[in-house]
Every structure is written in C-alpha cells, then in structure tokens.
Amino acid sequence: MAHRELENDRLPIPNGWFAVAFSRDLRAGDVQPLRYFGQELVLFRTRAGQARVLDPFCPHLGAHLGHGGRVMGETLRCPFHGWQFDGESGACTQIPYCERIPPRARVRVWEVQEKNGFVWVWHHIENKPPEWDFPALPEFEDDAWSEPRTFDIVMEAHVQETHENNNDPAHFQFVHGAPQVLPTETHFSPDSTHYRIVSDYTSPQLGGEMTLQLVRDSWGLGLSSVRTEGLPGAGLLMFSSTTPVDEDHVHSRWLFTSTMNMVDLAGEEFMKGLTTGVLQDIPIWKNKVHRARPVLCEADTHIAEYRRWVRQFYSTPASEAAPGKGASA
C-alpha cells in the first residue's frame, strides 16, 4: 500500500535570492508582515526609500513589528512600547522613556536588494552572506519596452519541483498540449549558478511561419526569465521569482513586458500562454511526491543535469533531510 509520507523524499528550503514583493507595491512608510522560508519577517520602506527586512519580534516583550509598527525616518518603531530599530543594522536606536539602550536590543537584518521590479531577500539556512548574484535586465529600463504587467500565485509545491519544469521538455507535450517535444539545448555558466535553455520552434506570424527561439535563463532556484527571440526589432519577456513560503508552498511572482511594437500583436497572448501553462501544472505539483533518486530513462538527460545542478543550493541534501522508501537507484 502506498503511503505519501513514505514515498515522498521531502526537500528542504534552498539557499538563494528570492523575491518577497513587487517594488511598486512598497511605498515609503509602508510596513508589511511576511511569511517566507518557514519564518515570519517584516518588510518596510524607509523615508529615504530603502527597502528593509528584519526579524519581526521585538526583543523587549515580543511584539510583532509588522502588525502596527511604524516607519520613523530610517527606523521601524515597535507598536507596543515605541522602541525604534534601525533598518540597516537592526540595532535599537531609541527608547522613548529610557536613555540607556540595552546592548542586546537588536533584531536580525536580512540582506536585501531591489532589481528588475522586485524586492529580493537573501536566504541561507546557515546565515551565510550572499554567495552569488544575478543581472539587472536592460528591458526594464528601456522606454522601447512596455510597462510590465504582473501576475502572482501561491501554490502547494516545492520551488525545486516548479523550476524543474523548465528542464523537462517531454512534459510540454503531455501537460500543455505541445504538438511535439522541442529540440532543446542547455548551456551552463562558468560559475554554474546560471544556465540557459534554448528551444527552436515555429509560430505563425503575419500569415506565414517564422522560426523563433524560446530562451529560458535561470539563476539559482526559482529565479528565471523567458524570452521569445527571432522577431526582427521586437521581443517578449517574462521574468519571475518563485519564493518558498515553507517546505510545501511557494509564492510565484511574474513580470511581463514586450517591445511597444508587440504589445497589441502578441503581448497579451504571450502572457496568457504562460499563465495558462502554470495553471495546468498545479494539479501535478500538488499531488505528486518527490523522488530524490528517480528512475530516469535515457531521454531524460535535461532532468538529470538539472538534478545535479540544484545540489549546490542546499546545505542539506534531500536524501539526508527526510528520506522516504520510494526513492529508486
């Protein structure tokens, strides 16, 4: 008899850069409680415009800084007794009814950056500093490209499983109705934290057929872009981050943009095609188990490469975290 708990090799939460908000949704003075990586956090934007993320529980009497906390200049003020915590250092800088500040009056600061329309947090299970980075994409600063559209969804899945779909050409035929398995090549960067998948396909354009390329870039686990290339003087781009809420749920955020000359012609179809695709994947992710040692066939080379690649983003491998009996050599 199959038991999910025994068949499932549970995956831990990986290390890396993950989006915790769209930049446009965080204005100066905003305070937002968050839950990611199986932890509670607080996000706020200082009066000078800096996005900051802190551990949320005040070291004084434990109030949650994200529920009723207030931005005061570059600090976040506790709603319980008014203690103020610096967004850059986490240190308490003021207690309104006491001149002397206890040395242990501080909260943990998370490494944050803003890029490509997102607020990013560095997560590392061992609290190590950032070990790699990802590029700023020029399309988001180019007036020839449209204002990005947004899409986000919370799903019952693990970030490694959702990301693996990029490396599974065969599933596009059976889950998404592709007419055939597309020829696909994978290229890994020298530092190995980035790879690119290129697939050639034909698409009806302007009454004829045109050979295009679907270019998928990945940086770490859950951070990826999808571009359509081969259209003269035009382009389509999706950029996304899938962030672990905990070991069993993710929050995926996407930005869509296109060159202005493609917005009406193909922009909406591009966005609809990708969002429809993820909705088709959800029942698979929700109901499957993870095989740390899957039985692969000789055509599953892209999945095998991906499984080797992802190991670098874990402090504890899946096979050591919580092995099940269903894994096969």
Q: Which parts of the chain fold into alpha helices (H)?
A: 4-7, 159-164, 171-174, 268-287, 301-310, 318-321
Q: Which is more confident, 154 or 325?
A: 154
Strand order across the beta sheet in which 118-123 lies: 16-22, 118-123, 112-115
Residues of the chain above pLDDT 90, percent: 71
**C-alpha to C-alpha distance for 201 and 66, rounded to whole angstroms:** 48
pLDDT-based confidence at 318, cuts 50/70/90?
low
pLDDT of residue 321 exceeding 80:
no
pLDDT of residue 111 exceeding 50:
yes
**C-alpha to C-alpha distance for 210 and 207, rounded to whole angstroms:** 10
Domain range annotation of the chain? 16-123, 140-309
What does the pLDDT look like over 223-245, one tens digit per residue?
A: 999 998 888 888 999 999 999 99
**C-alpha to C-alpha distance for 281 and 133, rounded to whole angstroms:** 28
pLDDT of residue 324 exceeding 60:
no
User: Reduced to 3 states, what is the DSSP secondary structure of residue 136?
Assistant: coil
Note the pLDDT of residue 327: 35
CATH number listed for the domain at residues 16-123? 2.102.10.10
Average pLDDT, the chain: 90
**C-alpha to C-alpha distance for 119 and 169, rounded to whole angstroms:** 31
pLDDT of residue 120 exceeding 80:
yes
Note the pLDDT of residue 301: 92
pLDDT of residue 207 exceeding 70:
no
Note the pLDDT of residue 183: 72
pLDDT of residue 182 exceeding 80:
no
* Residue among 210, 199, 204 at smallest CA distance from 170: 199
Contact 88, 101 (CB under 8 A): no
Strand partners, 44: 31, 52
Do the first three CATH levels of 16-123 and 140-309 match, i.e. the same topology? no
Contact 157, 284 (CB under 8 A): no
- How many beta carbons lie within 10 A of that of residue 162, not counting itself? 21
Q: Which is more confident, 160 or 213?
A: 160
Note the pLDDT of residue 233: 85
Q: Which parts of 156-267 fold into alpha helices (H)?
A: 159-164, 171-174
Instruction: Flag the least confident range among 9-13, 79-83, 214-218, 317-321.
Output: 317-321
- Place domain 140-309 in its CATH homologous superfamily: Naphthalene 1,2-dioxygenase Alpha Subunit; Chain A, domain 1 (3.90.380.10)
User: Reduced to 3 states, what is the DSSP secondary structure of residue 316?
Assistant: coil
* Residue among 237, 230, 243, 234 at smallest CA distance from 256: 237
* Residue among 49, 41, 45 at smallest CA distance from 67: 41
For residues 260-265, average pLDDT? 85
Note the pLDDT of residue 317: 65
Note the pLDDT of residue 173: 78
**C-alpha to C-alpha distance for 227 and 225, rounded to whole angstroms:** 7
Contact 91, 105 (CB under 8 A): yes
Note the pLDDT of residue 237: 94
Note the pLDDT of residue 194: 96
pLDDT-based confidence at 329, cuts 50/70/90?
very low
Contact 208, 202 (CB under 8 A): no
Note the pLDDT of residue 175: 85
- What lies within 8 Å, CB to CB, of 213 at 6+ separation is 198, 199, 200, 201, 228, 229, 230
- At 12, list the tokens: 């831990």
Note the pLDDT of residue 185: 86
What does the pLDDT look like over 19-52, one tens digit per residue?
A: 999 999 999 999 999 999 999 999 999 999 999 9
